[in-house]
Structure 1
Amino acid sequence: MKNCIALACFLYSVFSFPQQIPIKDSFAHTFSIVARDAETGEMAVGVQSHWFSVGSVVPWGKSGVGVVATQSFVSERYGYEGLQLLEQNYTPKKALEKLKQQDQAKAFRQVAILDAKGEIAVHTGQKCIAHAQHKIGDNFSVQANMMLNETVVEKMYEAFKNHKNLALAERVVKAMKAAQAAGGDIRGKQSAALIVVGPEKAQQPWNDKRIDLRVDDHKTPIKELERLLKVHRAYDYMNQGDVAMEQNNLKAALEAYSKAEALEPTNLEMKFWKAVALANSGDVKTSVPIFERIFEIDKNWQRLLKRLPDAELLTIDEKALNYLLNL
């Protein structure tokens, strides 16, 4: 942080900027994308930076309202109040103009705002460190500053356009990977984040974000973010399987569990609950080899199995339970 403050003071002394450098703000120079899926209405922000925990300051979003990326010298006010203004029926353009009017350091900001209708407004201040650009597309915008070269934004833009076959989150990650492959942040890479919100306001505020993934400190943050997204998808399938079991739809449950297992083939938790579902459905015989493989790797899963009947999560008879506990 001391180095960042020193850099800011040096820039001020050399160039005599008319606006005060916001040295107290996070120095999150970065590249990002805000995007909306025109078919599902989902909205997302993806970001990477050579700055610790970029996901804690740059991406903002609210279901049924919109998303914001605030970067360069970050003012989190653009995220928090930007969403509030969208909720008050401001367009992204009017919201951004209002926020800029109240910001003496707007020349150092880079901000993108996208609403639930797909309307977009972007500001790249004239004092953002080169290469600093943005480009607006249909239902998305890419923006970057302090990039290694001027091709980063264009490569990110093209990658998002060229992967329309993917779900929004995966499409955003493709754009981020393209940005990094083109050179990315001139300082390197450290953290990344991805959020996805829905097209309608969430009934429960705690369920607002459909995806909320952060890599705070990593040598290859986008690669790690991509891995976490894959795990997230696998657990989504697990949840679908659990719901199907509650509805006594064994076929749908096993299909969902199998999809989860295909994404995470070494995850013992997924195998365990699939086996529990089989046992609860009356097919203990099919569950046996699955339990055996799990218990060979880690006996604690067998100890956990013993505790499930008291929690009403395992409903097999005592004879079948004893058989499984003695595998």
Structure 2
Amino acid sequence: MSIRNLPFVLFMTFSLSAFSQNAGVFKDQFAHTYSIVARDSVTGEMAVGVQSHWFSVGSLVPWGESGVGVVATQSFVNPAYGPQGLKLMEEGKTASEALGILIAQDEGKEFRQVAFLDNAGRTEAFTGKKCVEAADHITGKNFSVQANMMLNNEVVPAMELAFRSHPNLPLAERVLKVLEAAQQTGGDIRGKQSAALIVVGPEKVDNEWEDKRIDLRVDDHHAPVEELGRLLKVARAYEFMNKGDVAMEEENVAEALEFYGKAMEMFPENLEMQYWTAIALANSGRLQEAKPMFDSIFQQDENWREMTRRLPASGLLNISEEELEEIVN
């Protein structure tokens, strides 16, 4: 039997019910991995970061809800720990109480590895006796790190050290440091394939689509943690773009250009960021500053020239017809 077929055989051999009272509702899925659940003690944001040699780990392991908590469920994954754990914490159970209730109901608990963190920063984790070694977890105030099927026993301590060593980073970047440390220490014995990062806020939100402040997934990549880091940088740049757009709506051109400038500094080759900066300049009467930027953009991609012709009708470019022709021609 090839090693490549081993996960499937293990999955078929140990396919277990989700919880005893919900038999048949969920089917176990395989996600040996390392992960962190964490909270920022200043902002109250909560996060899950995860990496695995398994396809699309972000669709299985990380769960979170603003104002409630976060969950990482892995090894032979019981997805019910995510929504049911969040529901219990929303009802007022601590992370420890919520996880204890679900572990007690799970006939397959010895194959599970799970970590809960509630909105007060309390954590609880469980590593079943039949998780594939090296398997362990370390919990503390505002964090829990856990891993199974690791190359060595140093991975989890390295994750804890990385979290404690970067207290001044934003939570998402701090979590990324933890994933990087795990990989540098040996990581998953099988290698690398997918990674994910979610961040939720400290307070409940009115709309479901506002729940995740960061929601990034790398489903299949030769260097998933590195790619996750690149995506996080892109996300931060677009946060500046969004702030610039809000400033433009408020007719605060100086602030908008400051935010657009910060985005362009992060990704100077990104035409989108260059373009909307040029639009902001044109709308503020600084056409002569905007024209060289438009010219450079149009030379690289003619579609932006046609885009510019369409914007006045939408109210996104407020200049005269003569000025428009001066830009596009």
The TM-score bracket by the shorter chain reads over 0.9
Say if 2:46 is the partner of 1:43: yes
What is residue 314 of structure 1 aligned with on the other side?
Answer: 317
What is residue 17 of structure 1 aligned with on the other side?
Answer: none
The answer (yes or no) to whether the contact 2:123–2:141 under 8 Å persists in 1 is no
SS at match of 1:210: strand
Deviation at 1:8, TM superposition (A): 4.9
Question: Among residues 244, 252, 255, which one is paired with 2:255 in the alignment?
Answer: 252
* CA RMSD in angstroms, aligned pairs only: 1.5
What is residue 217 of structure 1 aligned with on the other side?
Answer: 220
Correspondences of 1:1-327 after superposition (within 5 Å): 3-8=6-11, 24-326=27-329
User: 1:152-176 CA deviation, whole Å, 9 max, x = no partner?
Assistant: 0011110111111210000000010
Please give the alpha-carbon distance, in whole angstroms, between the structure 2 residues aligned to 1:209 and 1:109.
26
Unaligned runs of 5+ in 2: 16-25
Cα 1:94/1:285, change in 2 over 3 Å:
same
Deviation at 1:137, TM superposition (A): 2.3
Deviation at 1:138, TM superposition (A): 2.5
Deviation at 1:205, TM superposition (A): 1.4
Deviation at 1:312, TM superposition (A): 1.1
Deviation at 1:11, TM superposition (A): 8.1
User: 1:27-75 CA deviation, whole Å, 9 max, x = no partner?
Assistant: 1000000000000000000000000000001000000000000000001
SS at match of 2:80: helix
Please give the alpha-carbon distance, in whole angstroms, between the structure 1 residues aligned to 2:37 and 2:108.
23
Deviation at 1:7, TM superposition (A): 3.2
Deviation at 1:203, TM superposition (A): 2.0
Cα 1:102/1:10, change in 2 over 3 Å:
closer
The answer (yes or no) to whether the contact 2:37–2:47 under 8 Å persists in 1 is yes
TM-score relative to the length of structure 2: 0.94
The count of corresponding residues between Structure 1 and Structure 2 is: 316
SS at match of 1:76: coil
SS at match of 1:206: helix
Deviation at 1:265, TM superposition (A): 1.1
What is residue 20 of structure 1 aligned with on the other side?
Answer: none
Please give the alpha-carbon distance, in whole angstroms, between the structure 2 residues aligned to 1:287 and 1:63.
41
Q: Which amino acid aligns with 2:310?
A: R
The answer (yes or no) to whether the contact 2:66–2:205 under 8 Å persists in 1 is yes
TM-score relative to the length of structure 1: 0.94
Unaligned runs of 5+ in 1: 13-22
**More displaced 10-residue stretch of structure 1: 29-38 or 1-10:** 1-10
User: 1:152-202 CA deviation, whole Å, 9 max, x = no partner?
Assistant: 001111011111121000000001000000000000010000000000011
